[in-house]
Amino acid sequence: MSSTEQGTSSAAPAEPTTAPESAAAPEVPESFYYVHGKDKVVHKVSAGALQHSALIHGMISNLGYTEEQAKANPFPFENIDGDILQMVVDWCNQHKGKPTPPEDTNLPKQKEKLFDLVLAVNYLEIKELLTYCCKQVAMMVKGKSPEEIREIWMIPTDAEDEAAEKEAKKRAGKEAAGETAAAAGDAK
C-alpha cells in the first residue's frame, strides 16, 4: 500500500524537470533576412525579429533561403519610406521573441510620422505595434471638442465634403463628356 503511494508521488515531479530542457532546446543558428524600403537602404534582420510581421513571416516560412540567397534577394518594400522602415525594424529587434507589455512606450515619439508608420505597420501586419499606434491616435482626441477633433484628425466639414463631392461629380461629368467627344471624333 505505502509503496504504491510513494510510486505515484515520485512520478509526479518527473514532469517539470523535462520542461527547461525543451525551452532551451532551439540551438539552431539564427537566420537573417534582408529588407529595404523606398530609399533602397538594406537592413539585416533576424528571422526571430521578423516574426512580429505576419506578412514577412508568411513570406519567409516557405522560402527556405540559404544565407547567400537571402542576401542576394532582399525584400523590397517600395511603398515604405526608409526612415519608417528603420523605425519598424528597430521595434522588431527590440521586441524580438517577447510579448509586448500592454503599456509599451518604447516607440518613436515622432508624431509627424505616425500616419506613415500606421500604414506601414498595417501593411506589414505587425499586430501589437498597430494596436499601440492606434492607441496613440485615439489618445489624440481625449477631452477635445468636435471642432478641435476636426483639426486633429483632418475631418472635413459637411460644407467641404459637399464641395468635394460636387467637384468630383463635375470632373466625372467632364471626363464622360470628353470620352464621348473623343468617341465621336473617332467615328468621324
Tell me which residues touch another protein (CB under 8 A).
Answer: 111-112, 114-115, 118-119, 122, 130-131, 134-135, 137-138, 140-147, 149-158, 161
Nearer to another protein, 25 or 139 (CB): 139
Strand order in 75-76's β-sheet?
Answer: 42-46, 32-36, 75-76
Nearer to another protein, 140 or 177 (CB): 140
Distance CA 183, CA 177 (A): 10
Distance CA 142, CA 127 (A): 23
- CB 138, min distance to another protein, A: 4
- CB 123, min distance to another protein, A: 9
CB atoms within 10 A of CB 124: 22
Nearer to another protein, 42 or 130 (CB): 130
- CB 93, min distance to another protein, A: 24
- CB 99, min distance to another protein, A: 18
Cα 27 vs. chain centroid, distance in angstroms? 28
Q: SS3 of 44, please?
A: strand
Nearer to another protein, 134 or 172 (CB): 134
Distance CA 138, CA 134 (A): 6
Burial of 130 (0-12, 13-18, 19+ CB in 10 A): middle
Nearer to another protein, 162 or 175 (CB): 162
- CB 112, min distance to another protein, A: 5
Distance CA 176, CA 169 (A): 10
